[in-house]
Amino acid sequence: MKPGSAFYEASVQCLMQSSFFTDLDQHVVEEMVGRCRRETWKRRRLLPMEETWQRFHILLSGRVRLSRSNPDSGRMITLFLLGPGDPFCIFSLLDGKPHDVMLETLDDVSLLSLPMGEARQWLYDHPEFNRTLLPYLGQQMCALAGLAADLALHDTEARLARLILRHVDEPTQDHPVIPRLINDLSHESLAEMIGSVRVVVNRQLQHWKQAGIVDARRGHLEVEALQELEKRAEEFRH
Amino acid sequence: MTYENSCVAVYDEHLRVQEALHILQKNDVNTTNLSLLGKGEGSGTYSTGLYTRGDQVQYRGAQRFFWEEMWRYLPGAAFFWIPTVGTVVVAGSLGAALVVALEEVVNGPDVLGAALYTVGVPDDSVIGYEKAIREGRYLLVVQAEQNEAERVHDLLLSSDVQDMALHLG
Protein backbone atom coordinates (compact mmCIF):
# COMPACT_ATOMS: atom_id res chain seq x y z
CA MET A 1 0.00 0.00 0.00
CA LYS A 2 1.34 3.39 -0.95
CA PRO A 3 1.37 6.42 1.38
CA GLY A 4 -0.91 8.20 -1.12
CA SER A 5 -3.67 5.68 -0.49
CA ALA A 6 -6.84 6.99 1.13
CA PHE A 7 -6.59 4.01 3.49
CA TYR A 8 -2.89 4.33 4.43
CA GLU A 9 -3.14 6.51 7.56
CA ALA A 10 -6.01 4.51 9.03
CA SER A 11 -4.09 1.28 8.40
CA VAL A 12 -0.96 2.57 10.17
CA GLN A 13 -3.04 3.78 13.12
CA CYS A 14 -4.84 0.45 13.36
CA LEU A 15 -1.54 -1.42 13.56
CA MET A 16 -0.04 1.05 16.03
CA GLN A 17 -2.96 0.34 18.38
CA SER A 18 -2.62 -3.42 18.00
CA SER A 19 -0.91 -5.38 20.76
CA PHE A 20 0.93 -7.25 18.01
CA PHE A 21 2.76 -4.10 16.90
CA THR A 22 2.86 -2.20 20.17
CA ASP A 23 6.22 -0.62 21.10
CA LEU A 24 7.38 -0.56 17.48
CA ASP A 25 8.46 2.78 16.01
CA GLN A 26 5.94 4.27 13.63
CA HIS A 27 8.40 4.16 10.70
CA VAL A 28 8.79 0.39 11.19
CA VAL A 29 5.01 -0.04 11.09
CA GLU A 30 4.82 2.23 8.04
CA GLU A 31 7.40 0.07 6.31
CA MET A 32 5.30 -3.00 7.03
CA VAL A 33 2.13 -1.32 5.70
CA GLY A 34 4.06 -0.21 2.61
CA ARG A 35 4.94 -3.83 1.81
CA CYS A 36 1.36 -5.07 2.10
CA ARG A 37 -1.54 -5.12 -0.28
CA ARG A 38 -5.00 -4.12 0.89
CA GLU A 39 -7.74 -6.70 0.59
CA THR A 40 -11.38 -6.86 1.55
CA TRP A 41 -13.33 -10.06 2.04
CA LYS A 42 -17.10 -10.23 2.15
CA ARG A 43 -19.00 -11.45 5.20
CA ARG A 44 -19.51 -15.22 5.54
CA ARG A 45 -16.55 -16.06 3.34
CA LEU A 46 -15.28 -19.55 4.20
CA LEU A 47 -11.67 -20.34 3.48
CA PRO A 48 -9.77 -23.53 4.19
CA MET A 49 -6.24 -22.80 5.37
CA GLU A 50 -4.77 -24.32 2.17
CA GLU A 51 -6.00 -21.19 0.37
CA THR A 52 -4.58 -18.67 2.80
CA TRP A 53 -1.51 -20.00 4.58
CA GLN A 54 0.93 -18.76 1.94
CA ARG A 55 0.14 -15.16 2.79
CA PHE A 56 0.39 -13.40 6.12
CA HIS A 57 -2.67 -11.32 6.99
CA ILE A 58 -3.37 -8.52 9.46
CA LEU A 59 -6.99 -7.57 10.11
CA LEU A 60 -7.86 -3.88 9.84
CA SER A 61 -11.59 -4.11 10.42
CA GLY A 62 -14.20 -6.79 11.01
CA ARG A 63 -13.84 -10.21 12.59
CA VAL A 64 -12.44 -13.53 11.41
CA ARG A 65 -13.07 -16.85 13.10
CA LEU A 66 -10.50 -19.64 13.03
CA SER A 67 -12.10 -22.99 13.71
CA ARG A 68 -11.89 -26.73 13.29
CA SER A 69 -14.75 -29.02 12.44
CA ASN A 70 -15.62 -32.68 12.34
CA PRO A 71 -17.02 -33.39 8.85
CA ASP A 72 -18.83 -36.49 10.11
CA SER A 73 -20.72 -34.89 12.99
CA GLY A 74 -20.74 -31.34 11.62
CA ARG A 75 -19.61 -30.08 15.02
CA MET A 76 -17.30 -27.12 15.12
CA ILE A 77 -15.01 -25.56 17.69
CA THR A 78 -13.80 -21.98 17.41
CA LEU A 79 -10.11 -21.74 18.26
CA PHE A 80 -9.62 -18.00 17.84
CA LEU A 81 -11.89 -15.03 17.22
CA LEU A 82 -9.78 -12.28 15.70
CA GLY A 83 -10.49 -8.57 15.52
CA PRO A 84 -8.83 -5.40 14.18
CA GLY A 85 -5.05 -5.47 14.58
CA ASP A 86 -4.84 -9.25 14.89
CA PRO A 87 -2.61 -11.24 12.51
CA PHE A 88 -3.17 -14.67 10.99
CA CYS A 89 -1.90 -17.27 10.53
CA ILE A 90 0.86 -16.75 13.00
CA PHE A 91 1.69 -20.47 13.21
CA SER A 92 2.33 -20.73 9.47
CA LEU A 93 4.54 -17.66 9.76
CA LEU A 94 6.68 -19.54 12.25
CA ASP A 95 6.79 -23.05 10.82
CA GLY A 96 6.07 -22.41 7.13
CA LYS A 97 3.35 -25.05 7.00
CA PRO A 98 -0.42 -25.08 6.49
CA HIS A 99 -2.59 -26.01 9.46
CA ASP A 100 -5.93 -27.74 9.64
CA VAL A 101 -7.97 -24.63 10.37
CA MET A 102 -10.98 -23.10 8.65
CA LEU A 103 -11.30 -19.32 8.34
CA GLU A 104 -14.66 -17.60 8.27
CA THR A 105 -15.37 -13.89 8.05
CA LEU A 106 -18.11 -12.80 10.45
CA ASP A 107 -18.32 -9.31 8.92
CA ASP A 108 -17.14 -7.60 5.78
CA VAL A 109 -13.45 -7.39 6.65
CA SER A 110 -10.54 -5.35 5.39
CA LEU A 111 -7.01 -6.57 5.86
CA LEU A 112 -3.41 -6.22 4.84
CA SER A 113 -1.59 -9.16 3.35
CA LEU A 114 1.86 -10.02 2.08
CA PRO A 115 3.52 -13.26 0.98
CA MET A 116 4.59 -15.41 3.94
CA GLY A 117 8.21 -15.40 2.73
CA GLU A 118 8.31 -11.60 2.75
CA ALA A 119 6.70 -11.49 6.20
CA ARG A 120 9.32 -13.91 7.48
CA GLN A 121 12.09 -11.79 5.95
CA TRP A 122 10.59 -8.71 7.61
CA LEU A 123 10.77 -10.62 10.88
CA TYR A 124 14.48 -11.32 10.35
CA ASP A 125 15.13 -7.71 9.37
CA HIS A 126 13.44 -6.37 12.50
CA PRO A 127 14.59 -8.41 15.50
CA GLU A 128 13.04 -5.77 17.77
CA PHE A 129 9.71 -7.14 16.61
CA ASN A 130 10.38 -10.24 18.72
CA ARG A 131 9.73 -8.11 21.80
CA THR A 132 6.09 -7.96 20.81
CA LEU A 133 5.86 -11.23 18.91
CA LEU A 134 6.84 -13.43 21.85
CA PRO A 135 4.29 -11.99 24.30
CA TYR A 136 1.66 -12.23 21.58
CA LEU A 137 2.51 -15.89 21.02
CA GLY A 138 2.33 -16.39 24.77
CA GLN A 139 -1.19 -14.95 24.77
CA GLN A 140 -2.22 -17.24 21.93
CA MET A 141 -0.83 -20.30 23.71
CA CYS A 142 -2.57 -19.26 26.93
CA ALA A 143 -5.83 -18.87 25.03
CA LEU A 144 -5.55 -22.37 23.59
CA ALA A 145 -4.56 -23.79 26.98
CA GLY A 146 -7.53 -21.98 28.52
CA LEU A 147 -9.88 -23.45 25.93
CA ALA A 148 -8.53 -26.96 26.52
CA ALA A 149 -8.81 -26.55 30.29
CA ASP A 150 -12.34 -25.15 30.03
CA LEU A 151 -13.46 -28.07 27.87
CA ALA A 152 -11.94 -30.63 30.21
CA LEU A 153 -12.59 -29.11 33.62
CA HIS A 154 -15.68 -26.93 33.58
CA ASP A 155 -19.38 -27.31 32.91
CA THR A 156 -21.21 -25.34 30.24
CA GLU A 157 -22.32 -22.56 32.57
CA ALA A 158 -18.77 -21.91 33.75
CA ARG A 159 -17.40 -22.13 30.20
CA LEU A 160 -19.92 -19.61 28.90
CA ALA A 161 -19.27 -17.25 31.81
CA ARG A 162 -15.53 -17.52 31.29
CA LEU A 163 -15.90 -16.89 27.56
CA ILE A 164 -17.83 -13.69 28.20
CA LEU A 165 -15.40 -12.53 30.89
CA ARG A 166 -12.42 -13.08 28.57
CA HIS A 167 -14.00 -10.50 26.27
CA VAL A 168 -14.62 -7.90 28.96
CA ASP A 169 -11.95 -5.22 29.24
CA GLU A 170 -10.82 -4.78 32.79
CA PRO A 171 -11.00 -2.86 34.98
CA THR A 172 -14.31 -1.43 33.93
CA GLN A 173 -16.83 0.77 35.69
CA ASP A 174 -19.23 0.62 32.76
CA HIS A 175 -22.71 -0.57 33.46
CA PRO A 176 -23.94 -2.56 31.68
CA VAL A 177 -20.76 -4.10 30.26
CA ILE A 178 -20.70 -4.92 26.57
CA PRO A 179 -18.18 -7.67 25.78
CA ARG A 180 -15.77 -7.07 22.90
CA LEU A 181 -16.10 -9.01 19.61
CA ILE A 182 -18.75 -11.47 20.83
CA ASN A 183 -21.61 -9.16 21.85
CA ASP A 184 -23.57 -9.64 18.61
CA LEU A 185 -22.77 -13.28 17.88
CA SER A 186 -25.54 -15.82 17.45
CA HIS A 187 -26.07 -18.37 20.21
CA GLU A 188 -24.81 -21.01 17.81
CA SER A 189 -21.55 -19.12 17.33
CA LEU A 190 -21.18 -18.70 21.10
CA ALA A 191 -21.79 -22.43 21.49
CA GLU A 192 -19.03 -23.16 18.97
CA MET A 193 -16.64 -21.16 21.11
CA ILE A 194 -17.21 -23.30 24.19
CA GLY A 195 -17.77 -26.75 22.70
CA SER A 196 -21.51 -26.75 23.25
CA VAL A 197 -24.67 -26.49 21.17
CA ARG A 198 -27.11 -23.66 20.50
CA VAL A 199 -30.01 -24.89 22.64
CA VAL A 200 -27.83 -25.27 25.71
CA VAL A 201 -26.33 -21.80 25.35
CA ASN A 202 -29.76 -20.33 24.68
CA ARG A 203 -31.19 -21.96 27.81
CA GLN A 204 -28.27 -20.79 29.94
CA LEU A 205 -28.57 -17.20 28.72
CA GLN A 206 -32.31 -17.24 29.47
CA HIS A 207 -31.55 -18.40 33.04
CA TRP A 208 -29.05 -15.59 33.48
CA LYS A 209 -31.44 -13.10 31.96
CA GLN A 210 -34.14 -14.06 34.47
CA ALA A 211 -31.56 -13.70 37.26
CA GLY A 212 -30.61 -10.22 35.99
CA ILE A 213 -27.03 -11.23 35.18
CA VAL A 214 -27.11 -10.56 31.45
CA ASP A 215 -29.35 -8.98 28.89
CA ALA A 216 -29.37 -11.35 25.96
CA ARG A 217 -31.48 -10.66 22.93
CA ARG A 218 -31.11 -11.75 19.35
CA GLY A 219 -27.72 -10.45 18.21
CA HIS A 220 -27.10 -8.53 21.42
CA LEU A 221 -25.38 -9.50 24.65
CA GLU A 222 -24.48 -7.33 27.61
CA VAL A 223 -23.53 -8.06 31.19
CA GLU A 224 -25.66 -6.43 33.87
CA ALA A 225 -24.12 -8.07 36.95
CA LEU A 226 -20.44 -8.61 36.38
CA GLN A 227 -19.72 -9.94 39.87
CA GLU A 228 -22.49 -12.51 39.60
CA LEU A 229 -21.08 -13.65 36.27
CA GLU A 230 -17.64 -13.97 37.86
CA LYS A 231 -19.13 -16.25 40.50
CA ARG A 232 -20.59 -18.40 37.71
CA ALA A 233 -17.12 -18.60 36.20
CA GLU A 234 -16.00 -20.04 39.53
CA GLU A 235 -14.16 -16.85 40.36
CA PHE A 236 -11.29 -17.82 38.16
CA ARG A 237 -10.43 -15.51 35.33
CA HIS A 238 -7.83 -15.40 32.60
CA MET B 1 -19.98 -12.54 -17.07
CA THR B 2 -20.02 -10.98 -13.61
CA TYR B 3 -17.63 -11.87 -10.81
CA GLU B 4 -17.81 -11.10 -7.13
CA ASN B 5 -14.06 -10.45 -7.04
CA SER B 6 -12.35 -7.36 -8.30
CA CYS B 7 -9.14 -5.42 -8.29
CA VAL B 8 -9.66 -1.67 -8.01
CA ALA B 9 -6.81 0.68 -8.89
CA VAL B 10 -6.87 4.46 -8.40
CA TYR B 11 -4.94 6.74 -10.76
CA ASP B 12 -4.49 10.45 -10.40
CA GLU B 13 -4.31 11.29 -14.11
CA HIS B 14 -5.53 9.88 -17.38
CA LEU B 15 -2.05 9.22 -18.82
CA ARG B 16 -1.43 6.75 -15.98
CA VAL B 17 -4.71 5.04 -16.83
CA GLN B 18 -3.61 4.61 -20.43
CA GLU B 19 -0.29 3.13 -19.27
CA ALA B 20 -2.14 0.70 -17.00
CA LEU B 21 -4.41 -0.39 -19.84
CA HIS B 22 -1.41 -1.04 -22.05
CA ILE B 23 0.13 -3.21 -19.33
CA LEU B 24 -3.07 -5.22 -19.03
CA GLN B 25 -3.45 -5.62 -22.79
CA LYS B 26 0.18 -6.67 -23.18
CA ASN B 27 -0.39 -9.39 -20.59
CA ASP B 28 -3.59 -10.72 -22.17
CA VAL B 29 -5.99 -9.56 -19.48
CA ASN B 30 -9.57 -9.91 -20.72
CA THR B 31 -10.92 -6.38 -21.16
CA THR B 32 -14.55 -7.55 -21.23
CA ASN B 33 -14.79 -7.23 -17.45
CA LEU B 34 -12.76 -4.09 -17.13
CA SER B 35 -14.29 -0.70 -16.31
CA LEU B 36 -13.09 2.83 -15.81
CA LEU B 37 -14.86 5.48 -13.74
CA GLY B 38 -13.97 9.14 -13.58
CA LYS B 39 -15.39 12.55 -12.93
CA GLY B 40 -15.22 13.49 -16.56
CA GLU B 41 -14.82 17.20 -16.03
CA GLY B 42 -11.88 19.29 -17.08
CA SER B 43 -11.84 22.85 -15.96
CA GLY B 44 -15.48 23.33 -15.17
CA THR B 45 -15.86 25.78 -18.04
CA TYR B 46 -16.94 23.08 -20.49
CA SER B 47 -20.42 21.80 -21.16
CA THR B 48 -20.13 18.09 -20.51
CA GLY B 49 -22.19 15.20 -21.83
CA LEU B 50 -22.41 11.96 -23.68
CA TYR B 51 -24.27 11.30 -26.92
CA THR B 52 -24.27 8.94 -29.85
CA ARG B 53 -23.68 9.71 -33.50
CA GLY B 54 -24.62 6.68 -35.56
CA ASP B 55 -23.19 3.80 -33.57
CA GLN B 56 -20.34 5.92 -32.18
CA VAL B 57 -20.38 7.09 -28.58
CA GLN B 58 -19.26 10.70 -28.45
CA TYR B 59 -18.19 12.78 -25.48
CA ARG B 60 -18.57 16.48 -25.06
CA GLY B 61 -16.13 17.92 -22.56
CA ALA B 62 -12.54 18.62 -21.69
CA GLN B 63 -11.45 14.98 -21.93
CA ARG B 64 -13.18 14.11 -25.16
CA PHE B 65 -10.31 12.24 -26.81
CA PHE B 66 -9.45 10.29 -23.66
CA TRP B 67 -12.96 9.02 -23.03
CA GLU B 68 -13.67 8.23 -26.66
CA GLU B 69 -10.46 6.17 -26.72
CA MET B 70 -11.55 4.40 -23.55
CA TRP B 71 -14.91 3.49 -25.06
CA ARG B 72 -13.13 1.89 -28.00
CA TYR B 73 -11.16 -0.31 -25.57
CA LEU B 74 -13.91 -0.88 -23.03
CA PRO B 75 -17.36 -1.47 -24.51
CA GLY B 76 -20.15 0.20 -22.56
CA ALA B 77 -20.58 3.92 -21.99
CA ALA B 78 -22.50 5.77 -19.30
CA PHE B 79 -22.72 9.23 -17.80
CA PHE B 80 -24.45 9.96 -14.47
CA TRP B 81 -24.84 12.68 -11.95
CA ILE B 82 -24.82 11.14 -8.47
CA PRO B 83 -25.56 13.06 -5.27
CA THR B 84 -22.42 13.49 -3.08
CA VAL B 85 -20.17 12.48 -5.99
CA GLY B 86 -21.23 14.67 -8.90
CA THR B 87 -20.70 13.63 -12.49
CA VAL B 88 -19.47 10.10 -13.12
CA VAL B 89 -18.36 8.88 -16.54
CA VAL B 90 -18.08 5.13 -17.03
CA ALA B 91 -16.38 3.08 -19.70
CA GLY B 92 -16.92 -0.67 -19.57
CA SER B 93 -19.37 -3.09 -18.05
CA LEU B 94 -19.82 -1.36 -14.71
CA GLY B 95 -22.12 1.18 -16.38
CA ALA B 96 -24.75 -1.54 -16.62
CA ALA B 97 -24.37 -2.28 -12.89
CA LEU B 98 -24.95 1.40 -12.15
CA VAL B 99 -28.13 1.35 -14.21
CA VAL B 100 -29.35 -1.72 -12.31
CA ALA B 101 -28.51 0.01 -9.03
CA LEU B 102 -30.45 3.09 -10.12
CA GLU B 103 -33.49 1.14 -11.29
CA GLU B 104 -33.71 -1.63 -8.76
CA VAL B 105 -31.63 -1.00 -5.69
CA VAL B 106 -31.48 2.59 -4.62
CA ASN B 107 -32.07 6.10 -5.77
CA GLY B 108 -29.75 8.41 -3.90
CA PRO B 109 -26.15 8.84 -2.84
CA ASP B 110 -25.62 5.10 -2.34
CA VAL B 111 -25.99 4.20 -6.00
CA LEU B 112 -22.25 4.01 -6.70
CA GLY B 113 -21.77 1.89 -3.59
CA ALA B 114 -24.55 -0.46 -4.67
CA ALA B 115 -22.93 -0.91 -8.09
CA LEU B 116 -19.47 -1.48 -6.61
CA TYR B 117 -20.88 -3.88 -4.00
CA THR B 118 -21.89 -6.22 -6.82
CA VAL B 119 -18.21 -6.63 -7.70
CA GLY B 120 -17.11 -7.30 -4.11
CA VAL B 121 -16.38 -3.78 -2.87
CA PRO B 122 -17.64 -3.27 0.72
CA ASP B 123 -19.17 -0.05 2.05
CA ASP B 124 -16.11 1.26 3.90
CA SER B 125 -14.04 1.09 0.72
CA VAL B 126 -16.75 2.76 -1.34
CA ILE B 127 -16.38 5.94 0.70
CA GLY B 128 -12.72 6.18 -0.30
CA TYR B 129 -13.47 5.50 -3.95
CA GLU B 130 -16.28 8.07 -4.05
CA LYS B 131 -13.84 10.61 -2.65
CA ALA B 132 -11.27 9.68 -5.30
CA ILE B 133 -13.77 10.27 -8.11
CA ARG B 134 -14.99 13.48 -6.53
CA GLU B 135 -11.40 14.74 -6.43
CA GLY B 136 -10.89 14.00 -10.12
CA ARG B 137 -9.06 10.66 -9.94
CA TYR B 138 -9.88 7.53 -11.93
CA LEU B 139 -10.97 4.08 -10.79
CA LEU B 140 -9.90 1.15 -12.91
CA VAL B 141 -12.04 -1.83 -11.91
CA VAL B 142 -11.17 -5.33 -13.07
CA GLN B 143 -13.71 -8.07 -12.31
CA ALA B 144 -12.29 -11.57 -12.44
CA GLU B 145 -11.85 -14.93 -10.78
CA GLN B 146 -9.72 -14.60 -7.65
CA ASN B 147 -6.51 -15.87 -9.26
CA GLU B 148 -6.90 -13.51 -12.21
CA ALA B 149 -7.74 -10.57 -9.94
CA GLU B 150 -4.55 -11.30 -7.99
CA ARG B 151 -2.55 -11.47 -11.24
CA VAL B 152 -3.99 -8.12 -12.33
CA HIS B 153 -3.04 -6.65 -8.95
CA ASP B 154 0.55 -7.82 -9.39
CA LEU B 155 0.70 -6.52 -12.98
CA LEU B 156 -0.58 -3.08 -11.99
CA LEU B 157 2.04 -2.75 -9.28
CA SER B 158 4.41 -1.83 -12.10
CA SER B 159 2.14 1.07 -13.13
CA ASP B 160 2.13 4.44 -11.40
CA VAL B 161 -0.89 3.51 -9.31
CA GLN B 162 -1.86 5.74 -6.40
CA ASP B 163 -3.96 3.21 -4.51
CA MET B 164 -5.02 -0.36 -5.16
CA ALA B 165 -6.97 -3.10 -3.40
CA LEU B 166 -8.21 -6.58 -3.99
CA HIS B 167 -11.89 -7.14 -3.16
CA LEU B 168 -12.89 -10.77 -2.73
CA GLY B 169 -16.53 -11.73 -2.56
Residue A105 touches chain B, beta carbons under 8 Å: no
**A39 contact residues in B (CB cutoff 8 A):** 165-168
Residues B47-70 pLDDT 10s: 888 888 888 888 888 888 999 999
**A57 contact residues in B (CB cutoff 8 A):** none
**Is A154-233 CATH 1.10.3470.10?**
no
Q: Domain ranges for chain A, please list them.
A: 8-151, 154-233
Residue A118 has pLDDT above 70, yes or no: yes
- Pick from B162, B163, B168: which is nearest to A39 by CB? B168
Instruction: Find the closest chain B residue to A108 by CA distance.
Output: B122
The pLDDT of residue A108 = 93
CA distance A8 to chain B (A): 9
Cα separation, B82 vs B110, whole angstroms: 9
Residues A163-214 pLDDT 10s: 999 999 876 666 788 999 999 999 999 999 999 999 999 999 999 999 999 9
Instruction: State the alpha helices, DSSP H only, in chain A.
Output: 8-16, 26-35, 90-95, 116-125, 130-153, 156-166, 187-193, 198-210, 226-232
The pLDDT of residue A23 = 79
**A103 contact residues in B (CB cutoff 8 A):** none
CA distance A168 to chain B (A): 27
Residue B44 has pLDDT above 80, yes or no: no
Confidence at A87, pLDDT banded by 50, 70, 90: very high
Contact B162 A108 (CB under 8 A): no
**A61 contact residues in B (CB cutoff 8 A):** 124
- Pick from B128, B164, B168: which is nearest to A42 by CB? B168
Contact B122 A40 (CB under 8 A): yes
Residues B91-142 pLDDT 10s: 998 988 888 887 776 555 578 888 888 888 988 898 889 889 999 999 999 9
Interface pTM (ipTM) of the complex?
0.86
> If you average pLDDT over each of A57-71, A120-134, A160-174, B56-70, which comes out highest?
A57-71
What mean pLDDT do residues A80-91 have? 92
- pLDDT above 70 covers what percent of chain B? 93
The pLDDT of residue A171 = 63
Mutation site for A-interface testing, chosen from B10, B121, B124, B146 by largest number of A Cβ within 10 Å: B124
- If you average pLDDT over every residue of chain B, what do you get? 88
Confidence at A238, pLDDT banded by 50, 70, 90: very low
Residues A28-38 pLDDT 10s: 899 999 999 99
CA distance B53 to chain A (A): 39
The pLDDT of residue B59 = 86
- Pick from A4, A40, A108: which is nearest to B165 by CB? A40
The pLDDT of residue A49 = 75
Q: B67-83: b or e for each residue (b if 16 or more CB lie within 10 Å)?
A: bebbbebbebbbbbebe
One-letter identity of residue B134: R
CA distance B4 to chain A (A): 9
CA distance B141 to chain A (A): 14
Fold of the CATH domain A8-151: Jelly Rolls (2.60.120)
Q: Domain ranges for chain B, please list them.
A: 5-167
Answer with the residue of higher pLDDT: B115 or B159.
Answer: B159
SS (H, E, C) A164-225: HHHCCCCCCCCCCECCCCCCCCCHHHHHHHCCCCHHHHHHHHHHHHHCCCEEEECCEEEECC
Which long-range contacts link A95-100 to residues 24+ away (Cβ below 8 Å)? A96/A120, A97/A53, A98/A49, A98/A50, A98/A53, A99/A49, A99/A53, A100/A49, A100/A68
The pLDDT of residue A13 = 94
Phi then psi for residue A222, to 5 deg, are -145, 150
Residue A59 has pLDDT above 90, yes or no: yes
- If you average pLDDT over every residue of chain A, what do you get? 90
Instruction: Find the closest chain B residue to A35 by CA distance.
Output: B157
Confidence at B13, pLDDT banded by 50, 70, 90: very high
Handedness of CA A12, A120, A137, A168 (dihedral sign): positive
- pLDDT above 70 covers what percent of chain A? 96
Residue B46 has pLDDT above 80, yes or no: no
